[in-house]
Amino acid sequence: FGGATAQAAAATTIAVNGSSAGRTFDGIGAISGGGGNSRLLIDYPAAQQSQILDYLFKPDYGANLQILKVEIGGDANSTDGAEPSIEHTAGNVQCNTGYEFWLMEQAKARNPDIKLYGLAWAAPGWIGGGNFWSTDMIDYLISWLGCAKADGLSIDYLGGWNERGYDISWYEQLRTALNNAGYGSTEIVGADSDWSVAADIADNSAFASAVQIIGTHYPCQGGDGGNADTCPGNATAEGTGKPLWASENGSQDMNSGAPALIRSITRGYTDAEMTAYINWPLIAAITPNLPYPTDGMMTASQPWSGNYSVGESTWATAQVTQFTQPGWQFLNSGSGYLGGSEQNGTYVSLKSTNNSDYSTIIETTTATAAQNVTLNVSGGLSTGTVHVWSTDVDSPSSATDFVHSQDITPSNGSYSFTAQPGYIYTVTTATGQGKGAAASPASAALPLPYADGYEADATGSEPKYLETMQGAYQVEPCANGRSGQCVEQMAPIKPIEWQNDSDAFALVGDTSWSNYTVSTDVDLEQAGTAEIYGRANTQDRPQSDQAAYLLRASNTGAWSIDRSDTGGTITTLTSGTVNALGTGTWHTLALTMQGSKISASIDGTAVGSVTDSTYTSGQAGIGVVGYQTDQFDNLDITPGT
């Protein structure tokens, strides 16, 4: 004892050599889609909406995303909702549906260099007679690219079918069709599934020339509950010479998932030569009863209060994106494991296209002790002042997020610093970075009464605050003698699904609502059953697993009060028959929840009542059993006592 008792810290020397080989960096991005996760963002008050978009896209402010991948809506549920198609029925292209074009425009307005990527999860049922891998689907994708183009958006990357494998000849036909339609510069990603596509690309030169990028999902999820301790590479994929992307990864809480996020980026390159990382999802702009309510860069679940929250994932992402650009080059000499062991941490170095600036990103998220890091800069790179930025990503706190902690003057191109465990460090010659300071208002429930006659909503849009879970609910001129605007279920047949089928339904409002009456006018356009939801509570996957009370009413006059559970069962609590409602005429349905009493009325006449105390709070909603194109109007939610 005495003397030098401290254990020598592991030490690493990183050779940041500008002449090193390395792959081209394609960017870090996130996914709006797969699906419905951005839904409430477009309904935010202007000031907070702009702040949220700044945190996501504005350079040198927050996540500074370099790639925005969006869902090409298909009228079917793709995790947290159904995103609307541009073509609910064959031949009727409506470019103004949904929010993804709007979101891409907002991203481009903030960062003209952001890359755009489109991918379908589901598709309208008319396509290919229900066959996704069809010429109809290729034509449909070209229509979607045309809608983007009409908005001034050029789509850099296009995929096939999310996590549903691939059809080689379809991809080849897609390439030809894109070239012929003037989209030769749009690169095709194959196949947004697993690595198996690589073997077919390696074996088949026609397929290889159709697909420009190999995109695989969750390559860094490993077997460790999403902790991304390794990112097993794929030698066949590497051998193709194509860019290799984690074209979806993540599915992590916005705070606790940040260490896995940075490991997936750095280890994605050191272990698997992956040059892009795309996080699922971009944002959780959904109500908290839906699956994955806190995943993404941020949460924004209350357009009525403007409340939002910036996740640690934003700052973990910023540690890479604010210090690089797509087109920079990885330096293999400056990429590896601290102290030679992945457990101590990993690092990657990238140089600018100016061949002078560089950034080295170091993560110590699995380290247990401080380490000494020496960087030796050579090969024509700048030996000027180095700026050190850090985020304590294992113990999130705004005081330790994205801190410019140190400036170092290298001596003969060499310098050292101490890396604490649990951190991300970026050492860089680049400047201009910044940490956004906009602050969210407090959270607050949406007050009752709440009503929507849909007159203020844009025609073709999804009504304010309405979260479509299946099918397509869209504002349209009212039918059958009613003036003004109504909401119509626009998907006339079962879509090509990505997950299971359910009623075509939509939820609205605050999950804390407890005692209230929800009423709506409904016009049955075809024979069948319409429904209203009350106390819509937790939804499990798939969307049919929705806790709620239902009033169902059919054109025949048959009605029931039902309870839908997260196990996916629907139990009839009481039922009866009134005079036929018929089709093409307007009626009013109402469901009242007061304590454990659940009661219903049709056209103002009480029809039934039952006692059930399973669910005590939740949202309202509207729905159709099947895919009738029924209309709804005058949603009215009045508080009980």
Considering the candidates 163, 172, 238, 476, report the single residue annotated as catalytic. Answer: 163
- CA proximity to 122, closest of 488, 542, 624: 542
When the beta carbons of 292 and 513 are compared against ligand 147, the nearer one is 292
The whole-angstrom separation of Cα 562 and Cα 413 is: 72
Stretch (H or E) spanning 346: strand 346-351
> Least Å distance between CB 31 and ligand 147?
7
- Ranges within 30-89 binding ligand 147 (CB under 6 A): 34, 78-79
Bridge-based pairing of strands 414-419 and 27-32 is: unpaired
When the beta carbons of 34 and 326 are compared against ligand 147, the nearer one is 34
- CA proximity to 409, closest of 387, 426, 389: 387
When the beta carbons of 34 and 257 are compared against ligand 147, the nearer one is 34
- CA proximity to 186, closest of 213, 215, 151: 213
488 given a catalytic annotation: no
Q: Which of 51, 77, 106, 251 binds ligand 147 (CB under 6 A)?
A: 251
Q: How many residues bind ligand 147 (CB under 6 A)?
A: 12
Q: Which of 280, 347, 415, 454 binds ligand 147 (CB under 6 A)?
A: 280
Q: Which of 162, 333, 461, 517 binds ligand 147 (CB under 6 A)?
A: 162
When the beta carbons of 71 and 457 are compared against ligand 147, the nearer one is 71
**Which residues lie closer than 8 Å to 451 by C-beta, 6 or more apart?**
634, 635, 636, 637
When the beta carbons of 111 and 162 are compared against ligand 147, the nearer one is 162
The secondary structure of residue 77, as a DSSP letter, is: B
> Least Å distance between CB 438 and ligand 147?
28
- Ranges within 199-238 binding ligand 147 (CB under 6 A): 217-218, 221
**Which residues lie closer than 8 Å to 407 by C-beta, 6 or more apart?**
385, 386, 387, 388
- Ranges within 491-520 binding ligand 147 (CB under 6 A): none
When the beta carbons of 416 and 566 are compared against ligand 147, the nearer one is 566
The whole-angstrom separation of Cα 392 and Cα 389 is: 10
Residue type, 261: L
When the beta carbons of 248 and 457 are compared against ligand 147, the nearer one is 248
> Least Å distance between CB 461 and ligand 147?
23
**Which residues lie closer than 8 Å to 354 by C-beta, 6 or more apart?**
none
When the beta carbons of 60 and 163 are compared against ligand 147, the nearer one is 163
Calculate helix-pair angle for 312-321, 258-272, nearest 10 degrees.
Answer: 30
| φ/ψ of residue 482, rounded to 5 | -95, 135
The whole-angstrom separation of Cα 633 and Cα 121 is: 30
The whole-angstrom separation of Cα 289 and Cα 618 is: 8
163 in contact with ligand 147 (CB under 6 A): yes
- Ranges within 289-328 binding ligand 147 (CB under 6 A): 292
The whole-angstrom separation of Cα 535 and Cα 550 is: 9
- CA proximity to 568, closest of 551, 552, 546: 546
163 given a catalytic annotation: yes
> Least Å distance between CB 34 and ligand 147?
3
Please identify the residue of the shown chain whose CB is closest to the bound ligand 147: 34
| φ/ψ of residue 467, rounded to 5 | -105, 105
- CA proximity to 135, closest of 125, 147, 127, 145: 127
When the beta carbons of 14 and 30 are compared against ligand 147, the nearer one is 30
Our measurement of the distance from residue 41's CA atom to the centroid of its chain's CA atoms, rounded to an integer in Å, reads 12
> Least Å distance between CB 496 and ligand 147?
15
> Least Å distance between CB 310 and ligand 147?
21
- CA proximity to 639, closest of 445, 402, 369: 445
> Least Å distance between CB 119 and ligand 147?
9
Q: Tell me if residue 98 falls in helix, strand or coil.
A: coil
Considering the candidates 87, 248, 497, 531, report the single residue annotated as catalytic. Answer: 248
When the beta carbons of 81 and 125 are compared against ligand 147, the nearer one is 81
Identify whether the C-beta of residue 365 lies closer than 8 Å to the C-beta of residue 393. yes
> Least Å distance between CB 250 and ligand 147?
8
> Least Å distance between CB 515 and ligand 147?
34
CA angle 376, 380, 385 (to 5 degrees): 60
> Least Å distance between CB 118 and ligand 147?
14
When the beta carbons of 295 and 357 are compared against ligand 147, the nearer one is 295
Q: Which residues of 4-27 are buried (b: 16+ CB within 10 A; e: fewer)?
A: eeeeeebebebbbbbebebbebbb
Question: What are the residue ranges of helices labelled H in 532-601?
Answer: none
| Strand ranges, E, within 514-569 | 516-523, 529-536, 548-554, 558-564
263 in contact with ligand 147 (CB under 6 A): no
> Least Å distance between CB 78 and ligand 147?
6
- CA proximity to 89, closest of 458, 457, 472, 469: 472
Q: Which of 83, 167, 248, 342 binds ligand 147 (CB under 6 A)?
A: 248
531 in contact with ligand 147 (CB under 6 A): no
Catalytically annotated residues: 163, 248
Binding site residues, ligand 147, CB under 6 A: 34, 78-79, 162-163, 217-218, 221, 248, 251, 280, 292
